[in-house]
Structure 1
Amino acid sequence: MAAQTPNVSGHWIGGERVAGGEGRIDVVDPATGEVVAAVPAGTPADVDRAVTAAQAAFRDWSRVDVAERAAVVTRISEGLKARGAEIAAAVTSEMGSPIGFSTAVQAGLPVHTSAGVASLAGSFPWTEEIGNSLVVREPVGVVGAITPWNYPLHQIVAKVAPALLAGCTVVLKPSEVAPLSAQILAEVAADAGLPAGAFNIVHGEGPVVGEAIAAHPGVDMVSFTGSTRAGKRVSVVASDTVKRVALELGGKSANVVLDDADLAKAVKVGLGNAWINGGQTCTAWTRMLVPAARHDEIVEMVVAAAGRYTVGDPREDTTRIGPMSSAAQQERVNGYIERGAADGASVAFSGEVVDGPGAYVRPTVFAGVAPDAVIAQEEIFGPVLSVIPYADEEQAVAIANSTVYGLAGAVFGEPDHALAVARRLRTGQVDVNGGAFNPMAPFGGYKQSGNGRELGRYGLEEFLEVKSIQR
């Protein structure tokens, strides 16, 4: 029998569910338009209560031996694995990821990420000697975590697991669009032996709950993942208390296909990374940069590959692209598709349309896109690929670096050649010839894609203060 969507009834504060006020936010299945759950519309008072609980828990949790903190994080990883089917079903119901992707990535990646963080405890340099100084790394304090809807549990765990290992306590605001898996994490963490108050959840909207977290004087750090626009606001609000802010924001990543690339691989892997999670991925390679002389040939290959992307019910195993996360996101993506055509880009491929309800869009490939076109500069967050021709390698690098973003990217070509080009891209991570995602490598962006790093050792360091003791 299929796993059931969890019944979310309240915030999670001080180790227990809290009903909150009368306001409620519906959680809508984007494939059907049906309400599948509801969460409280949190208030600044709810945030204050959660911060108070986190401050109280911090006094003891920060003093727990790091080996025991690692053991708790390990048990959290094991608990998430045990509830993987439930998590996958929840994510599919709340934001529309196809069930195969939800099982492998939405539910699977947080298991690996949390286990990897826990494994760092024994080898991490918690203390070191520099001359007559003892340098110690200590938890930053209470962490406010604000996370998005596109990878709802992964983005939470990427913050919560290292924060807990560091000895911090957490107040989380998950996306109100996709809040269901956060409640599962709270239950798993409690079962893993995490003390009450070390992890708290306040549901609600960004302008209310998110801003209350960012502004709260009892929050020592804010870790935010979301749009660049919202990240700028978090920075402004947090500046009044001079708290640490880590931002993982938008992207407009380029896939540079060099003239010596394996074109079949570049197209197959490139399109897959452009349309991963329906294109609702901050690292999506949404710009495919190709040699001008081979533009038409490559577009034909892209169109053939695009035709194999089935669009439909995300609960069907054969579906590769489900609905957008919401009707609002559907409208946004369709607006960009209309803008691309109106601005003169050629629509090389327009995919299936799904009859009936649901926030579906047609996967679209634009050819002959100008580097400065709106669809080549702005983050669309949907299954839309722009194929951009370049005259030579210098222009390819210039185009790749021409947006305000710098989160991810790719290069395909002869290995040494591709590596040399990868080094020239102003972006936080680059895959060469389809290099696999590494959950222990640092993840984060340049420019308006944010600051700080998540995952692995670098992600752990974000939640630590550094103290020098001279002797």
Structure 2
Amino acid sequence: MPPTMYLDGRFRHPSSPATIPVLDPTTEQVYDHVPRGTARDADAAVRAARRAADGWAATPQSERVALVRGLRDVLAARADELTSAVVRDVGTPVRVARALQTMLPIGAVDDFLAAAEGIEERRAVANSLVYRRPVGVVVAVTPWNYPLLQIVAKVVPALLSGSPVVLKPSEVAPLVPHLLAEAVDAAGFPPGVFNLVSGLGPEIGDALVRHPEVDMVSFTGSTAAGLAVHAAAGLKRVQLELGGKSASLVLPGADAVAAARATVNSCLLNSGQTCLALTRLVVHRSLYDEAVEAAGATAARFTLGDPADPATKQGPLVSAAQRDRVRGFIERAAADGARLTTGGAHAPDGVDRGFFVRPTVFADVAPESELGQEEVFGPVLAITPYDDVDEGVRIANGTRYGLSGAVWGPDPESAGAVALRLRTGQVDVNGGRFHTAAPFGGVKSSGRGREFGRAGLAEYYELQSLQL
């Protein structure tokens, strides 16, 4: 990957020759370098976006939609390249990477295009006409775990709304963002409408968030980092998608085996590096032993290895720091008295390199313990029993997070009734699948605002009323 950024419609060298090494999480070897951008680069990107803002806002919606549709087609044509990039950058197994990391984001573009239909039509309210106007210059700060999906969730609605955007992706996974910039360039967007910078969050990221010419900041990452972004942004509009500790609540009469298997698959997806992963299995005591056995057996079948190998079901974590952090959670959970049923903190057998962590399941996890409360962001499931449904709901709601969740019941009606009692942005009912046409986002310390679909697109508009 050339050490360039995409500013004002073309690839350019940054203001500083400094770079950041990029490690392959499977081999632990440096395979690339990404520019270490500065506040000067941030300023150049924001000013390019500001120069483009008026013209892009005045561009008819039909033209903006046509350009985004063209971007979608370029991404689809380069699906193989995007998939290979995320396998190397993130370590997502190739057996799921194409569907999860490439085609799901492309489908999200389709959902945004559908949501754009009619969204800018003015509304009459009494003696007023209400218009949607572009929010202005947007800074999008995205993480490494789902690089294309998180970029699409922010960049596409900004572009559709008529708002130019500056993208600052994670320096840990730079290949996909660079391919996205090439796709934007190929699609023919006007100069300054999309800009890509790279570097460290405390350096170029902070400069972007604080820049006075920025109107909106959309950030995905940890809750701690989100709080820092919110404080630095001042009175700008801020959209935050943060951490989670989502519970899968199994009600009396539910299929405990199906619930346990689905919860493990969610927890271990992308090596547990998924914000909406179901990482707590909260089970009625009458089904507890059955669920614990099924969860352990399911996790034990996850094959670790090279993510480029189609036989691999779980790849490495993204970095040594992430691996060590997750192993620390496992060691402390065992010391806290949780019962290890599968996995553990020791290195996987036969693996002498790569940032791997065994798929791990703990039973008898106290709801108030560290493992019962804190986001691990790794392949670790906590199982907790309860005695009545009210207690189960209290346990499910009993963390500072509220991003996702699941309820399993004997029928959709009873499960749905309990799902409405969970304080979380979305709930899967009896295995309902995630999709990108519905709003996604959190409550409590899991964020503010919504992404995807019409609600996600609406975040990038301001409402203006004309009183007649």
Q: Could you tell me the TM-score, scaled by structure 2's length?
A: 0.97
Provide the C-alpha distance between the structure 2 equivalents of 1:122 and 1:338, rounded to a whole number of angstroms.
51
Structure 1 residue 126 displacement after superposition: 3.2
Contact map agreement 2:256 2:287 (CA 8 A) in 1: no
Q: Does residue 399 of structure 2 align to residue 403 of structure 1?
A: yes
Matched, 1:27 2:22: yes
Q: Secondary structure at the match of 1:120?
A: helix
The corresponding residue for 1:140 is: 135
1:13 pairs with 2:10: no
Matched, 1:355 2:348: no
When structure 1 is superposed on structure 2, of 321-330 and 265-274 the one drifting more is: 265-274
Deviation for aligned residue 1:303: 1.4
- Which aligned runs of 4 or more in structure 1 are off by greater than 4 angstroms? none
Q: Is the 8 A contact 2:171 2:200 kept in 1?
A: yes
Aligned to 2:169: 174
**Matched residue of 2:109: which SS?**
helix
Structure 2 CA distance for aligned equivalents of residues 37 and 194 of structure 1:
28
Q: Name the % identity.
A: 50
Distance 1:42 1:129 in 2: 46
Q: Residue type of the partner of 1:291?
A: H
- Measure how far apart 1:125 and its partner are: 4.5
Count of aligned pairs: 463
Q: Does 1:392 find its partner at 2:385?
A: no
Q: Give how far 1:446 is off.
A: 0.4
- The more displaced of 120-129 and 249-258 is 120-129
Q: Which residue of the partner structure matches residue 3 of structure 1?
A: none
1:85 CA drift (Å): 0.8
**Do the aligned partners of 1:190 and 1:196 also contact (CA within 8 Å) in 2?**
no
Partner of 2:110: 115
Is 2:215 the partner of 1:220?
yes
Choose from 182, 188, 193 the match for 1:187: 182
Provide Cα deviations, 1:291-338, integer angstroms capped at 9, x if missing partner. 123322211111111121111110011111100011110011101010
What is aligned with 1:251? Answer: 244
Aligned-pair RMSD on alpha carbons? 1.0
State the alpha-carbon separation in 2 of the partners of residues 373 and 450 from structure 1: 23
Corresponding letter in the other structure for 2:13: A
Q: What amino acid is aligned across from residue 140 of structure 1 in structure 2? A: V
Structure 1 residue identity aligned to 2:4: G
Tell me, in whole angstroms, the C-alpha distance in 1 between the residues paired with 2:341 and 2:84. Answer: 34
Query: Which among 431, 436, 441 is matched to residue 433 of structure 2?
Result: 436
C-alpha distance in structure 2 between counterparts of 1:121 and 1:359, whole Å: 41
Secondary structure in 2 matching 1:62: helix
Partner Cα distance (1:399, 1:452) in 2: 25
What residue in structure 2 maps to residue 280 of structure 1?
273
* Aligned: 1:451 with 2:444: no
Match of 1:366 in 2: 362
Structure 1: gaps (5+ residues): 1-6
Is this contact kept in 2: 1:30–1:93, CA < 8 A? yes
Contact persistence 2:274–2:377 (CA under 8 A): yes
Structure 1 match to 2:231 = 236
Name the CA distance, whole Å, in 1 between partners of 2:2 and 2:389.
52
TM-score for the superposition, normalised by structure 1: 0.97
Contact 2:105–2:148 (Cα < 8 Å) also in 1: yes
Query: Is 1:338–2:331 an aligned residue pair?
Result: yes
Give the Cα–Cα distance (whole angstroms) in 2 for the partners of residues 246 and 8 of structure 1: 31
- Gap change, CA 1:315 and 1:235, over 3 Å in 2: same
Q: Is the 8 A contact 1:73 1:115 kept in 2?
A: no
Query: Does the Cα contact within 8 Å between 1:67 and 1:121 map onto a contact in 2?
Result: no
Measure the CA separation in 2 of the matches of 1:398 and 1:47.
45
Distance change in 2, residues 1:354/1:469 (3 Å)? farther
DSSP-derived class of the 1:141 partner: coil
Q: Which runs of structure 2 are paired with 1:42-121 in the superposition (5 Å)?
A: 42-121=37-116
C-alpha distance in 2 between matches for 1:112 and 1:463? 20
Amino acid at match of 1:45: R
**1:239-258 residue CA offsets vs partner (Å, 9 max, x unmatched):** 1xx11000000000000011
Asked if 2 retains the 8 angstrom alpha-carbon contact of 1:77 and 1:110, the reply is no
CA contact (8 A) 1:333 1:381 kept: yes
- Structure 2 residue runs of 5 or longer lacking an equivalent are none
**Relative to 1, partners in 2 of residues 1:374 and 1:71: Cα closer, same or farther, differing over 3 Å?**
same
Deviation at 1:354, TM superposition (A): 4.5
Structure-2 residue corresponding to 1:417: 414
CA deviations over 1:240-296 (Å, ceiling 9, x no partner) = xx1100000000000001111112221221111111111100001000001123322
Partner Cα separation in structure 2 for residue 114 and residue 202 of structure 1: 22
Secondary structure class of the residue paired with 2:58 = coil
